Amino acid sequence: MAEPEFSARGVRIARWPRSLTRAGEVRIEDGRLALLTSYGSEIDSAPVSAVRAGRPWFAKADETVATVNGTRYRLTLHDDGDRGRGETETSGRFLAALKRAAGRS
């Protein structure tokens, strides 16, 4: 099995107004985005071409909003080394990997 194009653990995944997991995983692999719980169960997944993601003006620096299968999720992507910086490297890497996987420039 190939290495995932992007993988982040310890991600807080929320669907307004409640949190689904505080230690989940976001993975982009084989052209699909998967949101997983800390136990590896799938919350939602979709082809990357059908996923919309971005960082709205009201979001914190380590947060992104992703629409997967018509459901909006707030993803808090942070690494321990990212705390205290303006824009986290993890959330930026996630958005860049999503664009790359979808073939958008």
Q: Which residues make Cβ contacts (< 8 Å) with residue 38, sequence separation at least 6?
A: 21, 22, 23, 24, 25
Give the whole-angstrom CA distance, residue 101 versus residue 94: 10
Give the whole-angstrom CA distance, residue 71 versus residue 97: 20
Which amino acid is located at 92 in the chain?
G
Q: Are 65 and 73 in contact (CB under 8 A)?
A: yes
Interval 49-99: pLDDT, tens = 999 999 999 888 889 999 999 999 999 997 655 555 545 688 999 999 999
Q: What's the pTM value of the predicted model, to 2 decimals?
A: 0.88
Which amino acid is located at 52 in the chain?
R
